[in-house]
Every structure is written in C-alpha cells, then in structure tokens.
Structure 1
C-alpha cells in the first residue's frame, strides 16, 4: 500500500475480539497516518470498551462503510469466507465485486495458519536488530 490507488479511497476493516487482540495496531495507525486515501476501521466483536461504531463483526462494520460502486476483498478462515460470501450475495452484491484470497495460506483453518506462520517465522532470519535501528530489510 505504498502509492495512492489512482485517486480511489480504501477502507480497511480489521476485525478482532478486543483491542488487545488487534494485530499490530501501531503499524495500522502509522499506515493510516501516512496515506490520506486510507481509512482503517477496527471491528471488535467482544470488547465492551469499544466505541459503538466499532462494535460488531468485521463484515457488519464493513457493510456500514460499503458503497454500491466498491469492490469487497475478504480474508480469513474458510468458514468465515463462505459465510461472508453467502451473506454478501444475499444482500445483492454482485459476485464480480466480491474477491476471495487465492493464496493457499488464506484457506487454512485458524490453527493451521498459526502453525504455518510460526514455522515460516522460524525459517526467516531475524530482523530484530534492524528494526531497532529503524531499517527493516524488504522481503520478496
């Protein structure tokens, strides 16, 4: 997400149970601050301290921000993707505007994804020192 997408706006809805479960909230905030075309909207399914506009599942929150001329890109566990696609189609959103992941990693169950992610992290060289210096090597 380095360059503005041809004048288009992007709304990224990130779901988590609670604020403390939100993955890398600092990086998400930095992304939003760096790109005026990007709006990041958290969706908390089980956080009583969340603002009312942030309470609910990610798809419900995303639909509150959706306009008919927008495409919808989904990622998550297979059961969630299937339910979301069915719900979107039932709401009349054309299949051509619904995009599901093509990566085999995105079709894994949550436990399989965690196991695969941990295995991949063990195989990558450490970038801890680089991160502390503010220089992070780019991954291919």
Structure 2
C-alpha cells in the first residue's frame, strides 16, 4: 500500500473520531467540506495549485506527519504583495516546513505564493491535533 493511501486512511479515521462540535474550518461555496491529504514532503506550491484548481481556492488540508496529523484551513484571498506582514514562500517549501512555520506563528498567517497562472496571496489558519 502506498504512503499516500496509508496517510489518507489515517486522516479519514481522525475525521471519523471528531465530534460534531469540531467542524472543519473551511467550507466550500457549495456547502461542502473539501479535504486534501498532504504528505510532509509534498511541496506547498503543488498543494496550493491543487486547492486553487480543484476546490476554487479553499480546502481543509490534512498533513499526515509520522507522529501526528496537522489540519490547516487553507484559502486564497486578494493579492496584498506590498503588506510588510506577508511572508514569501519558497518554491521548494515542503508541507512539513509549512506546518513548522505555522506552529511558530500561531493564529492567522499570510503567505504570498507565486502561482504560474497568477500571483495571489494565501491566507490560512493552523490547527493541529
């Protein structure tokens, strides 16, 4: 069984154990709760592109780390590249590095990710369990 399949099973079991009071942070325009499973070595830019193309820029990202699962509410917002608080993401930033960054900056964090089709700002909030 592939590493991604094992990670997906872990995430689905985790979601199944959550209470109805612990809703996922991101809801799609159609009312759905889009979920993306990421591995620690997946590149942030690839996950961002996937969310942008497949889920209209908003999804619940579960990063399946070896010892835990991190949940990131991931959504795109308007471009504010001149804002001093915006951090620039490197093209090779892994999801593990991104989770570490979010843990160091609790609450809302903003990153500027240069996408091939558009330069857009990514806004997200980190949740870990």
So what's the TM-score if we normalise by structure 2? 0.30
Is the strand fraction higher in 1 or 2? 2
Is the helix fraction higher in 1 or 2? 1
So what's the TM-score if we normalise by structure 1? 0.28
